[in-house]
Amino acid sequence: MFLAHTVRDILAHIESDTEIIVALDGPHDHEPVPTDPRVRVIKFAEPIGQRAATNMAARLSDAKYVMKCDAHCAFGPGFDRIMMEDMRDDWTMVPTMFNLHAFDWVCDDCGSRRYQGPSGPCDKCDSKTRREMLWRAKKSPTSTAMRFDRDLKFQYWGKYKRHQSGDLVETMSLLGACWMLTRERYFRLNICDEAHGGWGQQGTEVACKTWLSGGRLICTKKTWFAHLFRTQGLDFGFPYPLSGGDVEKARVYSRWLWLDGNWDGAIHPLSWLIERFAPVPGWAEPVLENPTKGLVYYTDNRLDPQIMRACQQQLENSRNGHELISVSLQPLEFGDNIVLNLERGYLTMFRQILAGLKAATADVVFLVEHDMLYHPSHFDFIPPQRDVFYYNQNRWMVDAKTGKALFYYANSTSGLCGYRELLIEHYRKRVKLVRKNGFSRRMGFEPGTHGRAERVDDYGHDTWMAECPNIDVRHRHNLTQSRWRKDQFRNQKYTRGWTEAREVPGWGTTEEVLDGIAQM
What are the DSSP calls for 75-102, one per residue? E-TTHHHHHHHH--TTEEEEEEEEEEEE
Check residue 172 and give its pLDDT. Answer: 97
Contact status, residue 153 vs residue 69, Cβ threshold 8 Å: no
Give the CATH number for residue 133.
Answer: 3.90.550.10
State the virtual CA torsion across 395, 400, 401, 403 in degrees, nearest 10: 50
Under the banding of pLDDT at 50, 70 and 90, the label for residue 337 is very high
* Amino acid residing at 219: C
Establish if 444 belongs to a structural domain: yes
Q: Is residue 299 part of a domain?
A: yes
Q: Are residues 306 and 235 in the same domain?
A: no
- pLDDT bracket for residue 458 (50, 70, 90): confident
Closest C-alpha among 70, 79, 132, 145 to residue 101 = 132
Q: What is the mean pLDDT of the chain?
A: 91
**Share of residues in the chain with pLDDT > 70 (%):** 95
The pLDDT value recorded for residue 520 is 64
For residue range 223-264, what is the model confidence (pLDDT) as tens digits?
Answer: 999 999 865 555 665 555 555 567 788 889 999 999 999 999
- Contact between residue 448 and residue 385 where contact means Cβ atoms under 8 Å apart: no
Separation in Å, CA 79 to CA 13, 57, 206: 7, 20, 20
Q: What is the pLDDT of residues 420-431, one digit of tens each?
A: 999 999 999 999
Asked, for residue 183, whether it belongs to a domain, the answer is yes
Confidence at residue 241, expressed as pLDDT on a 0 to 100 scale:
57
Domain count, the chain: 2
pLDDT (0 to 100) of residue 244: 55
pLDDT beyond 90 at 367: yes
Q: For position 235, what pLDDT does the model report?
A: 67
Q: Name the band, by pLDDT with cuts 50, 70 and 90, for residue 517.
A: confident
**Interhelix angle 202-212/244-258, nearest 10 degrees:** 10
- 267 in the same domain as 394: no
> What's residue 286's pLDDT?
65
User: Higher-confidence residue: 239 or 207?
Assistant: 207
Sequential DSSP letters for 216-242:
EEEEEEEEEEEE----S-TTS--SS--
The CA distance from 440 to 442, in Å, is 5
Q: Give the per-residue pLDDT at 238.
A: 57
First to last CA, the chain: 58
Average pLDDT of the segment spanning 290-305: 93
The pLDDT value given to residue 411: 92
Q: Are residues 217 and 315 in the same domain?
A: no
362: in domain? yes
Tell me phi and psi for residue 339, to 5 degrees.
-110, 125
What average pLDDT does range 94-113 have in this prediction? 94
Q: Does residue 482 have a pLDDT over 80?
A: no
Q: What is the DSSP string of 362-415?
A: -SEEEEEETTEE--GGGGG---S-TTEEEEE--EEEEETTT--EEE-----GGG
Per-residue pLDDT tens for 116-173? 877 889 988 999 999 999 999 998 889 999 999 888 989 899 889 988 999 999 999 9
Residues 313 and 254 in one domain: no
- The last residue of one of the domains, among 276, 304, 329, is 276
Question: CA dihedral in degrees (166, 170, 174, 179; nearest 10)?
Answer: 80
pLDDT of residue 5 exceeding 70: yes
pLDDT: which is higher, 163 or 339: 339
Cβ–Cβ under 8 Å, residues 203 and 217: no
Average pLDDT over residues 305-313: 92
Please give the pLDDT value at position 207: 97
Most confident of 41-45, 236-240, 457-461, 500-504: 41-45
281 within a domain of the structure (yes/no): no
- Cα angle 182, 96, 66 (rounded to 5 degrees) comes to 20
What is the predicted pLDDT for the residue at 143?
94
- Cβ atoms of 448 and 461 within 8 Å: the answer is yes
Burial of residue 459 (number of CB atoms within 10 Å: 0-12, 13-18, 19+) = buried
| One domain for residues 219 and 354 | no
379: in domain:
yes
Is 250 inside a domain boundary?
yes
Q: Assess whether 394 and 247 both reside in one domain.
A: no
The predicted pLDDT at position 289 comes to 79
* pLDDT-derived band at 475, boundaries 50, 70, 90: confident
For 18, counting Cβ atoms within 10 Å of its Cβ (0-12 exposed, 13-18 middle, 19+ buried), the class is middle
Looking at the fold, whether 431 and 398 belong to one and the same domain comes out as yes
386 lies in which domain range? 293-518
Lowest mean pLDDT among 63-72, 210-219, 238-247, 262-271: 238-247
Q: In this prediction, what percent of the chain has a pLDDT beyond 90?
A: 68
Same domain? 88 vs 234: yes
Does residue 336 contact residue 326 with C-beta atoms inside 8 Å? yes
Residues forming a β-bridge with 92: 217
Instruction: Determine the pLDDT at residue 240.
Output: 56
> Does the structure show a pLDDT above 90 at 492?
no
Is the CB of residue 96 less than 8 Å from the CB of residue 219?
A: yes
Residue 285 has pLDDT above 80, yes or no: no
Mean pLDDT value across residues 196-223: 94
Radius of gyration of the chain (CA): 25
Q: Which of 181-190, 251-260, 444-453 has the lowest mean pLDDT?
A: 444-453
Please give the pLDDT value at position 282.
74
Helix, strand, coil: what percent of the chain each, to 5?
A: 30, 25, 45
Query: Rounded CA gap, 209 and 353, in Å?
Result: 42
Residues 197 and 257 both lie in one domain: yes
pLDDT confidence bin for 474, thresholds 50/70/90: confident
- Shared domain check, 112 and 45: yes
Mean pLDDT score, 203-232: 92
Q: Is the dihedral of CA 341, 346, 350, 356 positive or negative?
A: positive
Residue 199: pLDDT over 90:
no
257 and 297 part of one domain: no
Look at residue 245 in the predicted model and tell me its pLDDT: 64
Residue 1 confidence (pLDDT): 87
Confidence (pLDDT) at 243: 54
Both 211 and 345 in one domain: the answer is no
